[in-house]
Structure 1
Amino acid sequence: MNKILFLATLFGRFICFSQVQVFEKNISNDEVFGMSISPDGEEMLFVRAYGGRDSLQIFQSVKEGDDWSDPKKASFSIDGINQIDPSYSPDGRLILINMIKEEENGYDVYVMERTKSGLGDLRDLSASVNTEAHEFYATMSKNGNVYFTRRNNSNDIYMSQWDGTKYLKAIPLSFNTDNSESNPYIHPQEKFVIFTSKTDNTQGVDLFISFKKRNKWSNPINLGKPVNSSLNEFCPSIDLKNKRFLFSRTEVLENRRIENMFFIPLKDLNIKNLRKQASYPD
């Protein structure tokens, strides 16, 4: 009997461990999405959406022992201006966000530098990235390259290379389709990119992964369950210190968006196995 109970306990722990979990109930309140955790694990930024898209503000929480503090509006938040999609550079020195500063230009990518005296001013990232179209959800690799979404006829993922002094003209990634690829999270060494897309055989927006090999991107692979569900998954990120995969889910109920942030141990994505399954275009 004791052996059976022991095995049942182990099995129960495994199931619990591999389940998707809501991120911190004092933060995930049905009105939030798009979290990014600093590389040292001591700070996080996310978007508070208030049940819609009319007012979008970036909030901040910091680690207090084993807990996260009650969130406060980020110091760089600007009243009356929508700000979304915060992300940290792999070294934590830079913070990228997206903001509509002038309505006719749509969302653009902005950057701030962290110094000993605090955060620097928000500045336009580069004319090589920002255009008259919407540019949003930008993440950065260790070498400074920026991956982001540009909305033309549909959403597509682009990359702008940092040559050491400036950003070069952004180019679209090879796996873009008409199914609206967006929200790219780039691995620090550019080994893979995780992003959102909608395909004919999914009920909503799912998260996919594409691997880089000899400067070619693999055909996208659906991350599958338990990450993807019948709801819409978006805003992928990785908690580098604690090795957790972060993402958000959204659904519309009675004209109101219900949105929360979730996590799963990074190892439970089985990235090594997914890499073995990857196929590459000719």
Structure 2
Amino acid sequence: MLLLNSTIKPIPVNSLKVISILFIILILGCKKQAEPVEKMQNQKYSGPFFGIEPTTTPQLLAPELLASPSTEYNGTFSPDGTEFYYTTDMPTNAYITFTKMMEDSTWSQPRIASFSGEFSDYDPLFSPDGNRIYFSSSRPKGDNENSKIWYVKRTDAGWGNPIRIILTGEEDNEYYSSLTHSGTLYFNIWSKGDIYKAIPNNTDYTVEALSDVINSGENKGDPFIDPNEEYLIFRGYDDSLGRGDLYISFNLDGEWTTPENLGEPINSSEHEMCPWVSQDGKLFVFASGRLEEPINVKALDPVKRINGTHNNGQLNLYYMSADFIQKMKEKHL
């Protein structure tokens, strides 16, 4: 060892400087090589509502950004289309997740919402003015059989602390709250299989079940109410095409029309649920368990690409044009 060490010549100082510079360049180059994957995923979607154009048939909603091996459902945009909240089902819990449009118009990587992460939380829906998010939660017991309706209010520092709305008894499990411009809250109680509405008064709410036109038959749930209370879209199981379908009923002269199955291509042989419509009436978002195409996996494929371009979880988020609503309403006019 001593003999070998004695034959090694010291490296000149100038050479050390060159090596150091080359090493720094190499590190920076590797870092730049690693950035495009995440940047590409962000930049693919730009502008309000992810920059998407409504289509006549359902399409996966921002799959490179939202889709994952987990289950995604309950998608809702803020009224201006710059925030998107949804539910992510994980092995341990359900969490409310979000992404938002950044200053350069691209979208942030999804994160757990500031008011979620400890308990099982789901069903986020924005109020029409965008200043509140209503959601369902098992807090504080952590038991889904004890689901109640909560909301958070927007503040200068972000979302405030969750506040529970007292609607029904402790034995009732409340889900999926949707709000009108007048403040009336539509929701469902799964243990009873019915849809209700809660009308605000001076101090609390007057809660009443919707008419048998809506609630007759099998369980009804996931009620999305038009903010003007002109129509109601919900999940049902009567004469469905698959495990569960979406239906619509119109409020004409104060009476609900007989619910109509939205049919194909919205409903499928799988499970459809969690409807939402943008306030301008252009965009329809829902969750579905359909598999549009088989997963074609090749050796050395990036897992992120597979997750982002294929239906992986039990449910994924889809979007399409909401034009079908007016077309269906015209039959009643």
Q: Could you state the TM-score of these two structures normalised by the residue count of structure 2?
A: 0.71
Q: Aligned residue for 2:195? A: 157
Q: The residue matched to 1:169 in structure 2 has which SS?
A: strand
**Partners in 1 of 2:126 and 2:107 — Cα distance?**
18
Q: In the alignment, is residue 123 of structure 1 matched against residue 177 of structure 2?
A: no
Q: Aligned residue for 1:249? A: 288
Q: In the alignment, is residue 274 of structure 1 matched against residue 274 of structure 2?
A: no
**Partners in 1 of 2:209 and 2:246 — Cα distance?**
22
Determine which structure has the larger helix proportion and give its number.
Answer: 2
Q: Aligned residue for 2:243? A: 204
Q: In the alignment, is residue 259 of structure 1 matched against residue 315 of structure 2?
A: yes
Q: In the alignment, is residue 95 of structure 1 matched against residue 133 of structure 2?
A: yes
Give, as a single letter, the amino acid of the residue that structure 1 aligns with 2:209: I
Structure 1 residues 72, 272: CA separation in 2 closer, same or farther (over 3 Å shift)? same
Task: Give 1:80-229 correspondences, 5 Å limit.
Answer: 81-101=119-139, 102=141, 103=143, 106-126=146-166, 128-129=167-168, 131-153=170-192, 155-163=193-201, 165-174=203-212, 175-229=214-268
CA-to-aligned-CA distance 1:104-152 (integer Å, 9 cap, x gap): 86100001111233222111112x3464111001110111000001023
**Partners in 1 of 2:322 and 2:290 — Cα distance?**
24
What count of residue pairs does the alignment treat as equivalent? Answer: 254
**Partners in 2 of 1:60 and 1:169 — Cα distance?**
30
**Partners in 1 of 2:279 and 2:105 — Cα distance?**
17
- Whether the aligned pair in 1 keeps the contact of 2:269 and 2:290 (CA below 8 Å) is no
Q: The residue matched to 1:229 in structure 2 has which SS?
A: coil
Give, as a single letter, the amino acid of the residue that structure 2 aligns with 1:33: Y
Structure 1 residues 146, 189: CA separation in 2 closer, same or farther (over 3 Å shift)? same
Q: Could you state the TM-score of these two structures normalised by the residue count of structure 1?
A: 0.83
Give, as a single letter, the amino acid of the residue that structure 1 aligns with 2:320: I
CA displacement at 1:278 relative to structure 2: 4.3
Q: Out of 70, 80, 93, which is 1:55 matched to?
A: 93
Structure 1 residues 96, 145: CA separation in 2 closer, same or farther (over 3 Å shift)? same
**Partners in 2 of 1:117 and 1:130 — Cα distance?**
33
**Partners in 2 of 1:130 and 1:85 — Cα distance?**
20
CA displacement at 1:215 relative to structure 2: 1.6
Determine which structure has the larger strand proportion and give its number.
Answer: 1
Q: Please, which moves more after superposition, 37-46 or 201-210?
A: 201-210
In the alignment, structure 2 segments of 5+ residues that lack a partner are 1-53, 292-311
Give, as a single letter, the amino acid of the residue that structure 1 aligns with 2:226: H
Q: The residue matched to 1:87 in structure 2 has which SS?
A: strand
CA displacement at 1:95 relative to structure 2: 0.9
CA-to-aligned-CA distance 1:33-65 (integer Å, 9 cap, x gap): 111111111101111113x6x510111100135
**Partners in 2 of 1:184 and 1:104 — Cα distance?**
19
In the alignment, structure 1 segments of 5+ residues that lack a partner are 1-15
